[in-house]
């Protein structure tokens, strides 16, 4: 069974500082990997995803993530935080093969931006 671990339920950074949100997965086969963002009382919006090819993936709003197979990680970064980045961030995986492709999510990281 797959699982996703997000280190740090809350991360606080200053506006303009580097954002680093950590995600590690457990899977027998490297899965597809995703980062979603959720604003209060809203659904989830896809930031970026990795399926195959280049391991450094660029997403919306200046975010990017790097797939590292040897570390089973898919950490999310942004060079300079903006106040509007304050939200809940979820890392998720889905199996590569098989019929079902429902997402398995981590518990989320609440990103706080200090002015």
Q: Scanning residues 66 to 95, which ones bind another protein (CB under 8 A)? A: 90, 92, 94
Q: How far is the CB of 44 from another protein (least distance, A)?
A: 4
**Listed residue (35, 93, 24) closest to 65, CA to CA:** 35
23 CB-contact burial (10 Å; exposed 0-12 / middle 13-18 / buried 19+) = buried
How far apart CA 51 and CA 98 sit, in angstroms, is: 15
Q: What are phi and psi of 2, to 5 degrees?
A: -85, 155
Size of the site for another protein (CB under 8 A): 24
105 lines the binding site for another protein (CB under 8 A):
yes
Q: How far is the CB of 2 from another protein (least distance, A)?
A: 11
- Closer CB to another protein, residue 83 or residue 100? 100
61 Rama class: left (phi>0) / alpha (psi -120 to 50) / beta: left
**Listed residue (104, 85, 78, 60) closest to 21, CA to CA:** 78
- Closer CB to another protein, residue 98 or residue 115? 98
One symbol per residue from 6 to 45: x for binding another protein (CB under 8 A), - otherwise; what is it? --------------------------x---x----xxxxx
Q: Which residues bind another protein (CB under 8 A)?
A: 4, 32, 36, 41-46, 49, 51, 90, 92, 94, 99-108
């Amino acid at each position: 069974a797959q699982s996703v671990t997000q280190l740090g339920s809350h991360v606080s950074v200053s506006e303009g500082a580097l954002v680093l949100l950590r995600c590690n997965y457990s899977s027998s086969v490297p899965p597809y990997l995703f980062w979603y963002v959720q604003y209060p009382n809203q659904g989830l919006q896809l930031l970026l995803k990795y399926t195959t090819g280049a391991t450094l993936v660029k997403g919306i709003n200046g975010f990017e993530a790097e797939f590292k197979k040897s570390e089973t990680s898919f950490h999310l970064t942004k060079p300079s935080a903006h106040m509007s980045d304050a939200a809940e961030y979820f890392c998720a995986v889905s199996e590569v093969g098989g019929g079902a492709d429902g997402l398995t999510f981590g518990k989320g990281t609440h990103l706080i931006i200090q002015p």
